[in-house]
Structure 1
Amino acid sequence: MKDRYLRVLSLIGAAAVFIVVLMGTLVTNTGSAYGCGNNWPLCNGQVIPTAQAHQTWIEFSHRAVSGIASILVVIIAVWIWIRLKQVREARFLAVSSVFFIFLQAFLGMGAVVWGQSSVVLALHFGVSLLSFSSNLLIAFIVWEETLPHSRRIVPPIRKGMTWNFILLSIYTYIVIYSGAFVRHTQSSLGCTDFPLCNGRIFPEPLISKAGVQYLHRALALILVIWVILTLIHCMRHYQSTPSLSIILFVSLILVFLQAVSGILIIETKMALVFLLLHALFITGFYGLLMILAMLGLRRSEN
């Protein structure tokens, strides 16, 4: 019975952090970062704000959900530290989930109280992704270890493919950071058309908002090609482990949808729905990549 509660709580925890990531995107793209002024943890000097501005309530809701998610993450971390102490990954993820959720909160607080550069603000989204991925992996392990008659998944992944998953995850993080940097430098409409950039193959000047967005486009194209090649390789050489190809196929769909939503951001002049979908798809994609990396590392350890 207790394991059932842990399974449910692990899913709720991952979902809560996922919502925090999306709400952070909502805060950024509605100009609500200072909806509570420069106050933290109070909102305009109040525990519960009375202001009617929607920016205030968006920022306040983001803080409230982040606080609830942080409490859930700590509870789950302590629980799995005790319940799954024999699983090395579980203890590592317990520590990392707590570390990243509080680092994310600290960066958010710092941006409000002290103000931060575009470089650090972009990093805030990257840390949020690591926080979500840690909790997603925790949920994966909890269900794997506590379901009746389940067994630990150790697919026959070769060391080369393990490194491919690891490098792909690192590269994806760089692409994600470049996308966040585009947003925090107000470069989302640096190129106003697609696939050209302001009617040119290469933006002029290169060191400009158009250049920032163009770099993100180029990195994203490489990512799509990399995922396609990895999927083809797994379909050819890992036919006995169809789960790998399934995860990669879903990943390819997500990265494709993420690219389409990015194009629609430009075509609709930054419609909020596509900005949110852009963040949603890349968050799910990165979570799946981290699962693949974890499965690959398991095989490498044996």
Structure 2
Amino acid sequence: MPLFSAEAGHSKGVQRFAWSVLVYNVAVILWGSIVRATGSGAGCGEHWPLCNGTVIQHSPRIETIIELTHRAMSGVALIAMLALVAWTFAATAKRHIARTWVVAAAVLTFNEALLGALLVLLGKVAHDQSASRAVYLSLHLANTLLLLASLALTAHFLSRTMGFMRGVVEHRSFGIATVGLVATLFVGVSGSLAALGDTLFPAASLSAALAQDFSSKSAWLLRIRWIHPMMAVIAGAFICWLIFTSAWRGRNRKLAIGVVCLLGLQYLLGAADIFLLAPTWMQIVHLLGADVLWIALVVLTARLCVVPIGCTEGLCRV
């Protein structure tokens, strides 16, 4: 029997824990980016889950410490995810929407571990330049963003005061909002490939970097690098149109303004990343901004598209 009924609301504890798991997963993702940017993915050799075939590392290299730290953080994330599933099911009623999303998050967490293991076991790390590495990396990043979305939706629906049960909500403008989310997802995937190109083929100057992008002698990762900023502009324009036409009034206005501000910040960080020739710290800051923007956009979409039946113009408090 649920500890808290739909009418009585939910434990503040499970709400805080859900948001905390989301924040921790962002930290795990950022550390994973450090692994890639520093070429530390092979720090444990082609061994998984053991590191260099052993449990205890004697006089480990810095690359080994970086990779091993990421694995330890991922293990904690898995345990936290299982705890969140158990707590969510204990604290919610049978038709609670958060249950659906926490199960999705759990599946995506295991898938994240599988994709990470394949990158290591197949040697798609460090200085590997194969096309298959780009494919695995794209799948990994897409899965990561879907995981963050599922965790954000779990925390969001646990935090709602109304409109969190199946059967008492309706879906509005779901199709066009999905297009905006998918466009943003593709921007993230193209960004991961651009970052991989920056890591594998560093440029000495901005002019040299631009020359790499349009040289027929450059590696294919560099020749497709321009796709990321182009997609970012198109997706950004679509997101702004979506927000101004559907979220610029009522109780969603503050969150909509926040999304627009985060989008503008991402453009500034992206420009800085280019002009500074993508140093590791700038890549991490840019990725953090992208993750926060993605989470805010997902939550805004949920507030706009999943509303209590009879709610008018998004004025209901959810």
Question: Would the TM-score normalized by the shorter structure come out above 0.5?
Answer: yes
User: In 1, are the aligned partners of 2:85 and 2:106 still within 8 Å (CA)?
Assistant: yes
CA contact (8 A) 2:18 2:151 kept: yes
- Counterpart among 133, 137, 143 of residue 121 in structure 1: 137
Distance 2:201 2:240 in 1: 26
**Residue among 275, 284, 287 paired with 2:292:** 284
Identity of aligned residues (%): 22
Q: Shift of residue 125 of structure 1? A: 1.8
One-letter amino acid of the counterpart of residue 95, structure 1: V
Offset from partner CA, 1:140-183 (integer Å, 9 cap, x none): 22222xxxxx33379x99834x3332110011111111111223
Return the alpha-carbon distance in structure 1 between the equivalents of residues 102 and 309 of structure 2. 20
Q: CA deviation at 1:271?
A: 1.3
Compute the displacement of 1:225 (Å). 1.6
Q: 1:181 to 1:301 in 2, by over 3 A?
A: farther
1:53 aligns with 2:61: yes
Looking at structure 2, the residues matched to 301 and 48 of structure 1 have their Cα atoms a distance apart, in angstroms, of 57
> Pairwise mapping of residues 197-236 of structure 1 onto structure 2 (< 5 A)?
198=210, 203=214, 205=216, 208-234=220-246
Question: For the Cα contact (< 8 Å) 1:203–1:214, is it kept in 2?
Answer: no
- Distance (Å, rounded) in 2 between the aligned partners of 1:274 and 1:291: 26
Q: What does residue 147 of structure 1 align with?
A: none
5 Å-filtered alignment, 1:161-240, equals 162-186=174-198, 193=206, 198=210, 203=214, 205=216, 208-234=220-246, 239=249
Q: Which residue of 2 aligns with 1:140?
A: 156
The reply on whether 1:260 has 2:268 as its aligned counterpart is yes
Alignment of 1:6 onto 2:14: yes
Q: What's the CA shift for 1:215?
A: 1.2
Which residue number in structure 1 is paired with residue 128 of structure 2?
A: none
Please show how residues 24-63 of structure 1 align to structure 2 within 5 Å. 24-63=32-71
Verify: 1:91 aligned to 2:91, yes or no: no
Kept in 1, the 8 Å contact 2:22–2:151? The answer is yes
Answer whether contact 1:38 1:44 (CA < 8 A) is retained. yes
Structure 1's 80 and 158: CA in aligned 2 closer, same or farther, altered over 3 A?
closer
The whole-number CA distance in structure 2 between the counterparts of 1:4 and 1:233 is: 34
Structure 2: which 5+ runs fail to align?
Answer: 5-10, 125-131, 311-318
Distance 2:113 2:284 in 1: 20
Cα offsets for 1:213-236 (capped at 9, x unmatched) = 11111111112222222233246x
Quick one: distance in 2 between partners of 1:96 and 1:21? 18
Give the Cα–Cα distance (whole angstroms) in 1 for the partners of residues 75 and 17 of structure 2: 16
C-alpha change, 1:8 and 1:231, in structure 2 (3 Å) is closer
How far apart, in 2, do the equivalents of 1:172 and 1:190 lie? 27
Superposed counterparts of 1:103-122, under 5 Å: 103-116=111-124, 117=132, 118-122=134-138
Structure 2 distance, partners of 1:113, 1:210, is 26
Q: In structure 2, what is the Cα distance between the partners aligned to 1:248 and 1:197?
A: 35
Greater shift in the superposed pair: 268-277 or 177-186: 177-186
1:151 partner SS = coil
Paired with 2:148 and 2:92, the residues of 1 have a C-alpha distance of 20
Structure 1 stretch displaced more, 181-190 or 47-56: 181-190
1:152 alignment partner AA: G
Tell me how far 1:33 sits from its aligned partner: 0.6
Between the aligned partners of 1:142 and 1:52, the Cα distance in structure 2 is 43
How many angstroms apart in 2 are the aligned matches of 1:290 and 1:90? 14
Deviates more, 1:63-72 or 1:253-262: 253-262
Aligned equivalent of 2:314: none
C-alpha displacement of 1:282:
0.9
Scaled by the length of structure 2, what TM-score is found? 0.80
* SS of structure 2 residue aligned to 1:299: strand
List gaps (5 residues or longer) in structure 1: 145-149
